[in-house]
């Protein structure tokens, strides 16, 4: 038996006047689905998992299990098994007793050994059953912890960063095992992680959280290819997406361009539908996003349809074995998005604009809170703070990271021709919301 889980406007606060750790989150998880909750540490994903399990009280909203109200249902009545980050094994029990413990609690008169043996064969730990946890490696302990959850045959698995304490090679191996087991069992699984590689390889869908607000939910392919905002775009993808400050120029009698520092991206005629909608951003500063695979090193004569040229100077090379990451200086200005690394955005109210009433100010702040607060603000502040000393300003090599093959002869200081594939061009407005490719909802022309 598997289970459908629905969250409707769920919020969590620990004090009456404290911040919302989870803020009006709505999410539907289908029976048998593997959903990954992804986000930086402190964004509320573990709290959300504990509310589903019944270990945390829901402050506002509803939790439905198979369509039935379950806010007040005790953890034991939810028929869910949780796998923790810390293994949580009983040190005075053998692995056999650890795996069989929940079975003995549920049905004291039944013999748990057949279920324990079957679970151990599934996980490949038959030879470990008579050992104690202190005699096991980290990966073996995690297998035993998973076996304790599997033996119960629950309706849902809740996994809270179960692989974060393991080394990289073992994480990759156990990741494949978890994927195989959950699909073989067909049990609804909610998996919490801050590792995007785990999220992209495991999940049927990925839900990205920031500051307790659901930023985007979709398949791994959709979240990567069509990020809803600049936070999602920057959080998912290795190497991180290139973010540059751009200025849209759309004269009535000329070609549309996006100015990137000393160079421009010329949008070819006839304009695509997505590029036509960029006219709304005429004269405005935007954030341009280019993933490393959207740019290649090649001469303008080798351009394919939809590619436009740039030039750059090689500043740094990262040899990765199968490829080289080339850091190129194109004369563009990187878009330093405020608090992009923070799990929780700064929600302090900004200075009120001139001629803006207090009511308008509150409505604007409210709209920002519903979005999870702006993730990119490109408007110049009224009173800019003095820049830090030059010695304190970290300088990253180049403004664009490009993938290249190892056989390409490059060295720092060499000027190289670049081709940008406009089919993979992202443009975000000053709030950090994606405007190209066009979002599902029509843009608000009054903003």
Q: If one looks up domain 241-347+369-378+396-436 in CATH, what number appears?
A: 2.40.50.140
Is 303 in contact with 275 (CB distance < 8 Å)? Answer: no
Count of C-beta atoms within a 10 Å radius of residue 177: 16
CA gap 105, 235 in Å, rounded: 42
Distances (CA, A) of 112 to 84, 184, 218: 22, 22, 39
Give me the pLDDT at residue 402, please: 95
Which of 357, 44, 33 is closest to 208 using CA atoms?
Answer: 44
Tell me, rounded to whole angstroms, the distance of Cα 34 from its chain centroid: 15
Over the chain, what is the mean pLDDT? 85
Find the Cα–Cα–Cα–Cα dihedral 360, 365, 371, 374, rounded to 10°: 110
Tell me, rounded to whole angstroms, the distance of Cα 378 from its chain centroid: 23
CA gap 353, 366 in Å, rounded: 16
113 — phi, psi (to 5°)? -60, -40
Query: Which two three-digit tokens encode residue 237?
Result: 């993808």
Does the pLDDT at position 381 exceed 70? no
Does the pLDDT at position 369 exceed 50? no
Quote the percentage of the chain above a pLDDT of 70.
85
pLDDT, mean of residues 239-243: 93
Does the pLDDT at position 371 exceed 80? no
pLDDT in tens, 148-160: 888 888 899 999 9
End-to-end Cα distance, the chain: 49
Greatest distance between any 2 Cα atoms in the chain: 85
What topology is assigned to 5-230 in CATH?
Rossmann fold (3.40.50)
Quote the percentage of the chain above a pLDDT of 90.
54
Enumerate the β-bridge partners of residue 329: 313
Count of C-beta atoms within a 10 Å radius of residue 280: 15
Does the pLDDT at position 352 exceed 70? no
Is 314 in contact with 410 (CB distance < 8 Å)? Answer: yes
- Local structure of 191: helix, strand or coil: strand
Strands 156-160 and 80-83: parallel
Q: What is the pTM of this model?
A: 0.84
User: In which band, very low, low, confident or very high, does the pLDDT at 349 lie, cut at 50, 70 and 90?
Assistant: very low
pLDDT in tens, 388-438: 444 444 556 778 999 999 988 899 999 999 999 999 999 999 889 999 998
Domain coordinates in residue numbering, the chain: 5-230, 241-347+369-378+396-436
Domains 5-230 and 241-347+369-378+396-436 share a fold: no
- Local structure of 27: helix, strand or coil: strand
CA gap 372, 431 in Å, rounded: 11
Indicate the range of 272-276, 350-354, 421-425 predicted with least confidence. 350-354
Strands 242-249 and 324-329: unpaired
Q: What is the DSSP secondary-structure string of 68-113?
A: EE-TT--GGGS-EEEE-TT----TTS-HHHHHHHHHHHH-TTS--H
- Local structure of 388: helix, strand or coil: coil
Q: Which residue has the higher pLDDT, 383 or 175?
A: 175
CA gap 218, 89 in Å, rounded: 34
pLDDT in tens, 287-301: 999 999 999 999 999
- Local structure of 418: helix, strand or coil: strand
Does the pLDDT at position 64 exceed 90? yes
């Amino acid at each position: 038996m598997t289970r459908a889980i629905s969250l409707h406007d769920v919020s969590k606060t620990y004090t009456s006047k404290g911040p919302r750790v989870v803020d009006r989150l709505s999410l539907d998880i289908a029976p048998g689905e593997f959903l990954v909750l992804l986000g930086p540490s402190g964004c509320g994903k573990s709290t959300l998992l504990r509310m589903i399990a019944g270990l945390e009280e829901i402050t506002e909203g509803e939790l439905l299990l198979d369509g039935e109200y379950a806010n007040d249902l005790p953890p034991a009545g939810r028929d869910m098994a949780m796998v923790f980050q810390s293994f949580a094994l009983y040190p005075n029990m053998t692995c056999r007793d650890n795996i069989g413990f929940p079975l003995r609690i549920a049905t004291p008169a039944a013999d748990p050994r057949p279920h324990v043996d079957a679970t151990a064969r599934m996980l490949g730990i038959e030879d470990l059953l008579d050992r104690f946890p202190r005699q096991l490696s980290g990966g073996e302990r995690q297998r035993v912890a998973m076996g304790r959850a599997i033996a119960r045959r629950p309706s849902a698995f809740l996994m809270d960063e179960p692989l974060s304490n393991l080394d990289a090679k073992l994480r990759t191996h156990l990741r494949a095992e978890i994927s195989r087991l959950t699909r073989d069992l067909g049990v609804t699984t909610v998996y919490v992680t801050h590792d995007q590689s785990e999220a992209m390889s495991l999940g049927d869908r990925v839900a990205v959280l920031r500051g307790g607000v659901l930023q985007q939910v979709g398949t791994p392919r959709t979240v990567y290819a069509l990020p809803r905002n600049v936070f999602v775009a920057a959080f998912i993808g290795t190497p991180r997406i290139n973010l540059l400050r751009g200025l849209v120029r759309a004269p009535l009698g000329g070609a549309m361009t996006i100015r990137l520092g000393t160079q421009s991206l010329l949008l070819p005629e006839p304009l695509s539908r997505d590029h036509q909608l960029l006219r709304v951003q005429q004269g405005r500063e935007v954030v341009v996003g280019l993933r490393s695979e959207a740019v290649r090193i090649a001469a303008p004569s080798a351009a394919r349809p939809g590619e436009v040229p740039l030039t750059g100077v090689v500043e740094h090379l990262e040899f990765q074995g199968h490829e080289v990451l080339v850091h190129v200086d194109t004369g563009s200005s990187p878009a330093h998005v405020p608090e992009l690394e923070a799990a929780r955005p700064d929600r302090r109210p900004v200075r009120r604009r001139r001629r803006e009433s207090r009511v308008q100010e509150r409505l604007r702040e409210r709209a920002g809170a519903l979005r999870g607060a702006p993730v990119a603000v490109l408007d110049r502040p009224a009173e800019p703070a003095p820049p830090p000393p030059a010695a304190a300003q970290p300088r990253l090599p180049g403004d664009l990271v490009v993938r290249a093959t190892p056989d390409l002869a490059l060295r720092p200081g060499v000027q190289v021709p670049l081709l940008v594939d406009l089919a993979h061009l992202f443009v975000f407005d000053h709030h950090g919301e994606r405007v190209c490719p066009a979002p599902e909802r029509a843009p608000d022309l009054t903003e």
